[in-house]
Chain A
Amino acid sequence: MPAEAIEIRGLRKCFGDNEVLRSIDFHVGQGEVVCVIGPSGSGKSTLLRCVNRLEEPDAGTILIDGADITDPEADVDLLRSRIGMVFQSFNLFPHLSVLQNLTIAQRRVRKRPRAEAEAVARRNLERVGLAEKLGAFPAHLSGGQQQRVAIARALSMDPDMMLFDEPTSALDPELVGEVLAVMRSLADEGMTMMVVTHEMGFAREVADRVVFMDGGVVVEEGPPDAVLERPVNERTQRFLKMVR
């Protein structure tokens, strides 16, 4: 049996006196789509950011494809280049064109020749439906388009898995759909995905598993219809009633 894509054991993270993750056990299987939901401040974004060590865990182990990345000897840069990350605020590079946004890491990190990097970039822009925006600058794109470019940028590194940190929370409501559609098609292609989200509809339809977090612990997890429709835990019930 192949190793889990992401396997986390006993993860703790504090910001000062505030313990945001209290001994989390969590895993994502190969090709699995896991949505993490929960109230703000529940630690779900921190958990996601620990997976590529944008946050340094205080204790616990994180295995990516079976390799321990909390090991001080681990090559974090190599690891990150294999894990795509999509941010709430897009974080496109505003001084670079869309094409350059997609090629810079391919060329500087992957050392791909320009022609190859640009071909990969074109293919991924097509995948998110923005082939014609190649030469545009981020400031001239709508929020939804920027987020789709950000997804294409992450995909251009040929990642083994994708992390999404509330990818639609900064979007106007009418732009949410186009981003979710791209994510859905990624899931259909078998991409391993960990998605922190408030989009319950997306979680219900796309996720293989839903994890509900509150107060720095995993409160409840399971198939979407179980967690979202028939939650066992009282905190889950309360949260779902509030977001509905």
Chain B
Amino acid sequence: MTKRQRERLVRAALYVVLGAGLIGLALVADWETLRRNFFDVAIAREMFPGVLVVAARNTLLYTALAFAFGLVLGLVLALMRLSSIGPYRWIATTYIEIFRGLPALLTIFLVGFGIPIAFGTRWPVLLQITLGLGIVAAAYMAETIRAGIEGVPKGQMEAARSLGMTRTRAMASIVIPQGFRLIIPPLTNELVLLIKDTSLLFVLGTTPASKELAKFGRDLLANKANATPLIVVGAVYLLITLPLTQLVAVLERRNARAR
């Protein structure tokens, strides 16, 4: 047998194993039970339009708030890390190292319960959400933004300065816009992570109007004693995240072409 024939045989065998496995699974599976528990059309239908106009809307709102906060604080931290003033660098580095190493759930508890217990004041829930998720997100984004700024060739700053721009002006008009272009893909990935992290927010307590997707699905799961709501909610998550990951791919291709 030649090497080529042997390779063909191995490929064929792999397909046979796959096919046999799938057929076996299909024969063994209890389709009716699966359908009833995971794909109950009546239950799924009942979830609309709430799953979209309440739950998905809340997920997107919480994500947007945390992302905006994380982006602004992340930019500030990135610029602090690149500062020529030592203490600014140290503060930023400390912040980033601490909050990158903590689970978001911990900061959510901190903002939602730690602060009220310590100071006796409860912040508005949207502020709790923004901070609870945004504090950790900012630490990640700071590192991404810093990488973007450092990825802009040194000659860009020099050219801007040689035209008489101040350092700040050159940063704002020349370096940061280019840096952000470089990091749109990793930033979008962080957006996707944030979307998923909103599922932790239920620990803050919810009202029917403030449920995000995961909590919405979980409550219906208990309510109906059926897993269909989780499937529907999962599909909605994918409806949001898949276009974003596709967008990243498109942008990366376009970036590659622009270089």
Contacts and interface: CB of A to CB of B under 8 A. Distances in A.
B173 A52 contact: no
A91 B162 CA distance: 11
A87 B163 contact: no
Given A77-B166, A87-B155, A139-B258, A93 B174 contact: yes
Given A54-B158, A93-B156, A139-B258, A109 B178 contact: no
Interface residues on A, range: 20 to 34
B89 interface: no
Contact of B173 (A79, A104, A150, A157): A104
A150 B158 CA distance: 13
A68 to B, nearest CB: 18
A154 B163 contact: yes
Nearest to B174: A93
B115 interface: no
A94 B179 CA distance: 11
A175 to B, nearest CB: 19
A109 B258 contact: no
Given A108-B173, A139-B259, A80 B162 contact: yes
Interface in B119-166: 153, 155-156, 158-166
Contact of A109 (B156, B163, B174): B163
B177 interface: yes
Contact of A81 (B156, B164, B173, B178): B164
B163 A105 contact: yes
A54 B161 contact: yes
B181 interface: yes
A132 to B, nearest CB: 21
Per DSSP, chain B at the interface is: helix
A115 interface: no
B165 A87 contact: no
A166 B161 CA distance: 19
Nearest to B166: A77
Given A104-B173, A108-B173, A91 B158 contact: yes
Contacts of A85: 159, 162
Contacts of B155: 87, 89, 91
A157 B164 contact: yes
Nearest to B258: A139
A153 B156 contact: no
Given A108-B173, A139-B259, A91 B165 contact: no
B169 interface: yes
A105 B173 CA distance: 10
A87 B158 contact: yes
Interface in A140-193: 150, 153-154, 157
B251 to A, nearest CB: 14
Interface of A: 52, 54, 77-85, 87, 89, 91-95, 104-105, 108-110, 139, 150, 153-154, 157
11 contacts: A54-B158, A54-B161, A77-B165, A77-B166, A80-B163, A84-B162, A85-B162, A89-B153, A91-B155, A95-B177, A109-B165
Given A78-B164, A82-B164, A104-B173, 8 more contacts: A77-B166, A87-B158, A91-B159, A93-B160, A105-B164, A108-B169, A109-B164, A157-B164
Interface of B: 153, 155-156, 158-166, 169, 173-174, 177-178, 181, 258-259
